[in-house]
Structure 1
Amino acid sequence: MLDPIVNFITRIFQWIGRGIGLLIGIILWPFMWLGRWYFQRGWILKTVVGVGLLILAGLYANLIYATQWWNNFDPNYVDKYKFESRNVSAGEQVTAGGGTDTTRSCGRSAIADVTADLTDLNVNQNAWISSMILYKVGLFGLDWDKTPFMDNKASFQRGINQAARRTATELADNMGRVRTTSQIDSDLQDARGNLQFDEYTWYFGLSPFGPKTPTPSYYRDAIRKLRAFNTKLANCQAVFDARADNLKQYIDRISSDIGSTSAILKDRAENYNYGFFDARADDRFWFAYGQLYAYYGLMKAAEADFEDVIKQKNLKSLWDTMDAQFVSALRIQPWLVANSDETGIFATHLTTMGFYVLRVRSNLVEISNVLSQ
C-alpha cells in the first residue's frame, strides 16, 4: 500500500534533482564555453586574458572581504569616549583667570569628534563599499542593493553617512556660529560640502566622461576639516554656540530624519512581506541600523556639548531613556533579515526595527518639547 506513495515521493525528488542540475548547467554553461574558447587561443591572447581574469578575481576577492568583514564594528563604541567625565560644554573657556592667547583653552566639540570618527570608520577603517567598481557594476548588471548579497555593509555605511551629513550641516549653519549672524566657519563649511558629495563616485565616470576624485577622498577631507575646527575650538579660536534653541533645532532635524526612515520601513514591511525572500529588506534594515548607530554616539556627544542646557532643563532622565532605546535597537543584529507579516511564523525584523526607530523619535520629540518651554 505504501509503494505508490514512496514512488511518488521518489519522483518528486528526482524532478527536484533534475531541476537543480539544469539550473547549475545553465549557470556553468557560459564559463564552460569561455573555458573552451580560452584554450583554443594563442599564447599571447591567453596571457592577456589570463592577467585580466586574475585582476578580476582579485577585485572580487577584495569586494567579498570588504563587504563581509566589518572592521571595528562596535555598538558600544560610545563607552570609549567617557563623556560622563566631562564637565564643560563645547566652546566654554576652561582656563582659570581667563588665560592669554597662548594659554587659553576651551571645551572641544564632542559632536564634531564623533562625526569625524564615524566618517573615519566608514572610509579609513573600512573600505567605502558604494563607490567600489565591482559594487557599482553589480551582479551581472543587477544592482547589488536589489539582491540579498553584498549590500548590508554598504547600507549600514550610508546610514551612518546620512547622520554625519545632517550633523555637519547643523554644525556649519547653527552650532558653529553665533546666532547665525556671524561668518560660517570655513572648516565646517568645507566639511559640510564634502560630506554632501555623491556616495557612488569611482575614479572614472561616464557622466561626465573622464577621471574623477572618488567619494572616499571627499569624506577623508571632511574628517580633516572637522578635526581642524575642533583644534581651533580647543584653542578658543572658533565658536560653538551651545544654546538651547540650537540643540532643539538639531534634535528636530534628527527626528525628521529618522521619521523618514520609519516611513520607508513601514512601506516595505506592509507591501513586500516575503519573509526571508525579500531581497530589499536587508538594505532597509541596515540603513536604519546605521542611522541609529551614528545618532546614538551623536546624541551622547550632544549631551556633553550642551551640558549646561541639559542641567538647566532637567533633561537627564529623558536623555537616559532615549539612550536606552538606542542600546536596545542596536542589540538587533540578525544574520538574515526577514520581512514577514506580523501574523506569520517568521521573524519581522523590519517591523521590530521600525518600532525602535519610532521609540527613539518619540523620545526626541519629548526632549524638543521641553527645550521649547
Structure 2
Amino acid sequence: MLDPIVNFFTRMFQWIGRGIGFLIGIALWPFMWVGRWYFQRGWMLKSILGAALLVLIGLYANFFYATQWWNNFDPNYVNKYDFAKRDVSAGEQVTAGGGTDTTKSCARSAIADMTADLTDFNVNQNAWISSMILYKVGLFGYDWDKTPFMDNKASFQRGINQAVRRTSTELADNMGRVRTTSQIDGDLQEARGNLQFDEATWYFGFSPFGPKTPTPSYYRDAIKKLRAFNGRLSTCQAVFDARADNLKQYIDRIASDIGSTSAILKDRAENYDYGFFDFRADDRFWFAYGQLYAYYGLMKAAQADFEDVIKQKNLKSLWDTMDAQFVSALRIQPWIIANSDETGIFATHLTTMGFYILRVRSNMVEISSVLSQ
C-alpha cells in the first residue's frame, strides 16, 4: 500500500538532485572551460597567468580580511581616556605660578585628540575600505553597497568620517581661534582641508587620468596637523576658545547632522521594508552607527574641553543623560540588519536606530537651549 507513496517521494528527490546537479554544472562550466584552456597553453603564458591569479587571490584574501576584521572596535572606547580627571578647560593655563614663555603649559584639546584618534582608528588601525581597488571594482562590477556583502565596515568608517569632518570644521572656524575676527590656525585649517578630501580615491584614477595620492594619505596628514595643533596648545602657543556660544554652535551642528541621518533612516524604513532582503539597510544602519560611535567620544571630549561652561550652566545631569543614550544605541550590534514595518514579523533595526538617534538629538537640543540662556 505504501509503495506508490515511497516511489513518488523517491522520484521527487531524484529530480531535485538532478536539478541541483544541473545548476551546479552551469555555475562550474565557465571555470572548467577556463581550466581546460589554461592547461592547453604554453609554459610562459601559464606562468604569467598563474602569477596574475595568485596576485588576485592575495588581493581578495586581504580585502576579505580588511572588510571582516574590525581592529580595536570597542563601543566603550571612551573609558580609556578617563576624562573625569580633567578639571580645567582646553587652552587654559595650568602651570603653577604662571610660568614663563618657555615653561608655561596649557590644557590640550580633548576634541582635537579625539578627532585625531578616530581618524587613526579609520586609516591606521584599520584599512580604509572605500578607496581599496577591489571595493571600487565591486562584485563583478556591481557596487558592493548594493549587495549584502563586504560593505558594513566601509559604511561604519564613513559614518565616523562624517563626524570628524564636521568637528574639524568647527575646530578651524570657531573653537581654534578667538572670536571669528582672528586668524585661522594653520594646522587646523590644513586638517580640515585634508579630512574633506574625497573618500574613494585610489593610487590611480581616470578623472583626471593619471596617478593620484590616495585618500588615506590625506587623512594621515590631518592626524599630524591635529596633533601639531595640540602640541602647540599644550605650550600655550595656540588658542582654544572654550566659550559657551562655541559649544552651543558645535552641538547645534551635530544635532543637525544626526537629524539628517535620522531622516534617511526614516525614508528607508518606510519605503523599503523588505525585512532581511533590503540590501541597502545595512549601509544606512552602519553609517548611523559610525556617526554615533564617533560623536559619543567627541561629546565626552567636549565635556572635558568646556569644563568651566558645563559647571557654570549646571549641565552635568543633562550631559550624563545624553551619554546614556549613546551607550544604549551602541549596544545594538545585530549580525544581519532587517528593515521591516513595525507591524511585521521581522526586526526593525533601522527604526530602532532612528529612535535612539532622535533621543540623542533631543538631549542635544535641550543642552543647546540651556547654553543659550
Q: What TM-score bracket applies, with the shorter chain setting the length?
A: over 0.9
Q: Structure 1's 36 and 159: CA in aligned 2 closer, same or farther, altered over 3 A?
A: same
- Aligned counterparts of 2:223 and 2:265: Cα–Cα separation in 1: 30
Q: How much does 1:292 deviate?
A: 0.3
3-state secondary structure, aligned to 1:210: strand
Q: How much does 1:275 deviate?
A: 1.0
Identity, in percent, stands at 88
Residues 114-151 of structure 1: CA distance to partner in whole angstroms, max 9, x if unpaired? 00000000000000011011011000000100000000
3-state secondary structure, aligned to 1:284: helix
Aligned residues: 373
The one-letter amino acid of 1:88's match is V
Determine the structure 1 residue equivalent to 2:129.
129
Matches within 5 A, 1:1-373: 17-373=17-373
The one-letter amino acid of 1:51's match is A
- Aligned counterparts of 2:360 and 2:297: Cα–Cα separation in 1: 13
Q: How much does 1:17 deviate?
A: 4.6
- Aligned counterparts of 1:9 and 1:234: Cα–Cα separation in 2: 79
Q: Structure 1's 23 and 226: CA in aligned 2 closer, same or farther, altered over 3 A?
A: farther
- Aligned counterparts of 2:152 and 2:90: Cα–Cα separation in 1: 35
Larger mean CA deviation between 246-255 and 2-11 belongs to 2-11
- Aligned counterparts of 2:101 and 2:58: Cα–Cα separation in 1: 54
Larger mean CA deviation between 90-99 and 124-133 belongs to 90-99
- Aligned counterparts of 1:119 and 1:25: Cα–Cα separation in 2: 47
- Aligned counterparts of 2:138 and 2:99: Cα–Cα separation in 1: 58
- Aligned counterparts of 1:310 and 1:215: Cα–Cα separation in 2: 37
The one-letter amino acid of 1:57's match is I
- Aligned counterparts of 1:12 and 1:285: Cα–Cα separation in 2: 43
Residues 155-202 of structure 1: CA distance to partner in whole angstroms, max 9, x if unpaired? 100000000000000000000001111100000000000000000000
Task: Give TM-score scaled by structure 2 length.
Answer: 0.96
Q: How much does 1:28 deviate?
A: 2.2
- Aligned counterparts of 2:139 and 2:371: Cα–Cα separation in 1: 49
Q: How much does 1:23 deviate?
A: 3.9
Q: How much does 1:11 deviate?
A: 6.7
- Aligned counterparts of 1:190 and 1:123: Cα–Cα separation in 2: 18
Q: How much does 1:346 deviate?
A: 1.2
Q: Structure 1's 179 and 55: CA in aligned 2 closer, same or farther, altered over 3 A?
A: same
- Aligned counterparts of 2:2 and 2:108: Cα–Cα separation in 1: 79
The one-letter amino acid of 2:299's match is M
Q: Structure 1's 320 and 46: CA in aligned 2 closer, same or farther, altered over 3 A?
A: same
The one-letter amino acid of 2:256's match is S
Residues 30-82 of structure 1: CA distance to partner in whole angstroms, max 9, x if unpaired? 22221111111111100000000000000000000000100000000000000
Q: How much does 1:16 deviate?
A: 5.3
3-state secondary structure, aligned to 2:300: helix
The one-letter amino acid of 2:207's match is S
3-state secondary structure, aligned to 2:187: helix
- Aligned counterparts of 1:232 and 1:293: Cα–Cα separation in 2: 28
Larger mean CA deviation between 15-24 and 54-63 belongs to 15-24
Q: Structure 1's 111 and 47: CA in aligned 2 closer, same or farther, altered over 3 A?
A: same
Q: How much does 1:330 deviate?
A: 0.4
